[in-house]
A and B are shown apart, each in its own frame.
Chain A
Amino acid sequence: MASSAATITPEVLRRPNLLIICAKEAKYEFLKNLRFPMFSVSTLVFPLMFYVLFGLVMGRQTIGSISTTVYLIPAYGTFGVMGASLFGTAAGLSSERGLGWLQVKRASPMPLFAYFSAKVLMAITFSTIDVVALMLMGFVFGGVHLTGMTAVKLLFTLVAGSIPFCAMGLAIGYFASPNSAPAVINLFLSPDVVLLRPVDAVHVSPQVRAENRSVSAAVSPVTIGFESGGRRTGRTGLRALGDAGRVYTALPGRGTDGASTRSESEWMRAMSVRLRMDSDS
């Protein structure tokens, strides 16, 4: 029996830098998913594959005055963003929560903000890669010409659109068990694709002001799911995401007059059509 005096740690320890932890957490979250083919192949390869198949090989047609090679960039961009954001957050969170890994992390001094922000950053990174790869494919093989400004706006709107879907994914990850998460994601995803036009939620312009009701409808499950998720966990990360989600929801209502072109609204119609076709097939 140890009966001698024991002295423990003669100094007050300070928390390490939050930014460094967040960066490391995000890096490993990205690597973890990149090395998981079920996720990386389906989010990075499938949108490109569909674009090549329907846009470049079978396409070369026009809808209205716009070539399908152009239409399908935002269409499959949206598809990639939604997949990366919903599956990247929900599937990971539900299995880590359900199978004890999140508990191990919570027992460590990891700031929860780092955990959640890493998942969102990972999804945004995958989304960006998706959209940039589609654009490059279009430029190089599809003869697509976009002005620099339009390309930047398209990239920004699509990638920013991943935030509410991440929020929705995190909410699903909190409710669903590891086995049911993919099914629940599809439960949310399919009606959104078919009925609520989530496309409008990720690509907003004044021309679709009339469709704003459907935009709000598309994003509202995010906010609703989010708030109940937040109540249950009370975590900073979720609250921060909730704010981000709400800010994004507010954007369509304010509109961005003069910031869009005719072709953008054409795209959106094309996206809606294409996405409906995707979900039907």
Chain B
Amino acid sequence: MASAQMLTTWYGNDGRLHKAPVVTFEGVNKNYGQVQALSNFNMDVCGGELVALLGPNGAGKTTAIKLLLGLARPNSGKLSVFGGDPALTETHIRVGAMLQVGRVPETLRVREHIDLFSSYYPKPLPISETLASAGLEELRDRKFGVLSGGQKQRVLFALAICGDPDLLFLDEPTVGLDVEARHLLWQEIRNLLQRGKTVVLTTHYLEEADALADRIVVINKGSLIAQGTPAEIKMRTAGKRVRCVTQLPLELIRKLPGVSDVRADRNATVIHTPRAEEVLRQLLQLDVEISGIEVNSAGLEEAFLALTRDDDALSHSKQA
């Protein structure tokens, strides 16, 4: 595992220099009644890296974040943040969090929300800097209630970073943002990483994990099922995706050497293959009228679907 070789040093709450992961989960179990939200969960996050937690709805991503913020307690297992209990104030002052929230007090202004949250931290950023980082300068005197969905998300991001924390938890940070705002937020997250901050984010957008993450951790049904760099995860479903418009029947294409899967997609044909060049040469020979050729790496989406599908199949067979 690449991250295991990464040297990370940090000062713990005891003031001593440590060389260890910033965040560790060791065999953590958490259940809500009958529902097992996390089972025997192990994960490390090293300083300065961005880890994306990826998983379908109800996989346990938000539970993991809540445990790391001390908002919930594990039923068993050990977890630590900066070598200490995540629920302690000494830990909280070094952590920022952006959570999914139903409603924020609407009658306070953006600047006032940030002013209040900044006061909780020992060394907050100047309010103007926080406003600039979250792209909120123009909105500083607006009341929260009149903001658009995307603007509200940016305020929550501002509240997460206003204390200049070393470790940031972002729970689906770009939900409801338009493309431009999403890219701005990504840039801001990259800036934080450049300043040596550590980020753990959960997301539904695979493209987001691909664009930002040093490491992706795939969770399904409360268990870690795969982890690695985006490239490593994508390699799990090796190969390329070739899309083209051709008159050749699917059955014929399926029999070509090197083709692993073929399916029709509207008026085009999509071919999965580990050897794209060889398949393309054959296609061009067989069909001179072939058009609209696109070659892509098999995306994170395919890898993710394959991983969770395999895991689901495995757990079904175990149950049987």
A199, B117: Cα distance in complex, Å: 39
CA distance A36 to B196 in the complex (A): 41
* Interface, chain A (partner B; CB < 8 A): 1-16, 20-21, 24-25, 28, 31-33, 35-36, 95-96, 98-101, 103-104, 106-111
Surface stretch bound by A, among B87-95, B204-212, B285-293, B305-313: B87-95
**Contacting pair A8 B198 (CB below 8 A):** yes
Contact at B9–A104, with CB atoms within 8 Å? Answer: no
- The distance in angstroms between the C-alpha atoms of A104 and B162, with both chains bound, is 14
Closest beta carbon of chain B to A100's beta carbon, Å: 4
Q: Are A28 and B99 in contact (CB under 8 A)?
A: no
- Interface centre among B22, B89, B90, B119, by most chain A C-beta atoms within 10 angstroms, is B119
In the assembly, what is the distance between CA of A10 and CA of B47, in Å?
Answer: 14
4 further A-B contacts with Cβ under 8 Å, apart from A2-B48, A6-B198, A109-B93, are A6-B8, A9-B11, A36-B107, A104-B97
Q: Are A6 and B47 in contact (CB under 8 A)?
A: yes
Q: How many residues of B contact A (CB 8 A)?
A: 57
Contact A110 B102 (CB under 8 A): no
Determine which residue in B3, B8, B229 has the highest number of CB atoms from chain A within 10 A of its CB, and name it: B8
Contact residues of B with A, CB < 8 Å?
Answer: 2-3, 5-11, 13, 15, 22, 46-49, 69-71, 89-90, 92-97, 99-105, 107-108, 112, 115-117, 119-123, 143, 156, 159, 163, 166, 169, 193, 196, 198, 214-215, 229
List residues of chain A with CB within 8 A of the CB of B22: 8
Judging by beta carbons under 8 Å apart, are B119 and A20 in contact? yes
The answer to whether A12 and B11 have CB atoms under 8 Å apart is yes
On whether the beta carbons of B9 and A6 are closer than 8 Å, the reply is yes
- What B residues does A103 contact at CB under 8 A? 71, 99, 101
A21 and B119 contacting across the interface, CB-CB below 8 Å: yes
Once the chains bind, are B9 and A32 in contact (CB under 8 Å)? no
Give the docked Cα–Cα distance between A109 and B95 (Å): 8
> Which 8 pairs, one residue from A and one from B, show the smallest C-beta to C-beta distance?
A6-B48, A99-B102, A35-B107, A8-B10, A100-B101, A99-B103, A109-B92, A107-B97
How many angstroms from the CA of A1 to the CA of B8 in the assembled complex? 13
Q: Which chain A residue has the least Cβ–Cβ distance from B5?
A: A3
Asked if residues B99 and A8 are in contact (CB atoms below 8 Å), the reply is no
- How far apart are B210's CB and chain A's nearest CB, in angstroms? 14
Establish whether residues A8 and B71, one from each chain, have CB atoms under 8 Å apart when the complex forms: no
Whole-angstrom distance between the Cβ of B6 and the nearest chain A Cβ: 6
Contact B108 A32 (CB under 8 A): yes
Chain A CB count within 10 A is highest, among B2, B107, B143, for B107
List, in ascending order, chain B residues with CB within 8 A of A99's CB.
101-103
- Describe B's contact surface by its main secondary structure: loop
Contacts of A2 in B (CB 8 A): 6, 48-49, 193, 214
Bound complex: CA A47 to CA B122 (Å): 43
Q: How far is the CB of A25 from chain B (nearest CB, A)?
A: 7
- The answer to whether B101 and A110 touch across the interface, beta carbons within 8 angstroms, is no
State in angstroms the CA–CA spacing of A10 and B49 once bound together: 18
Q: When the two chains form their complex, are residues A9 and B94 in contact, meaning their CB atoms are under 8 A apart?
A: yes
A8-B47 contact given A13-B94, A104-B159, CB 8 Å threshold: yes
Contact A104 B48 (CB under 8 A): no
Check A109–B120 contact: CB distance below 8 A: yes
Chain A hits for B90, CB < 8 A: 13, 15
Residue in B69, B89, B107 whose CB lies within 8 Å of A15: B89
CA distance A153 to B122 in the complex (A): 42
A24 CA / B121 CA spacing, docked (Å): 13
Note all chain B residues with C-beta closer than 8 A to A104: 97, 99, 101, 104, 156, 159
Residue of A nearest to B68 (CB): A107
> Which of A8, A21, A32, A100 makes the CB contact (< 8 A) with B11?
A8
Of A5, A11, A25, A31, most buried by chain B (CB within 10 Å of CB) is A5
Complex: A16 Cα to B117 Cα, angstroms = 12
Give chain A residues whose Cβ lies under 8 Å from the Cβ of B5. Answer: 3
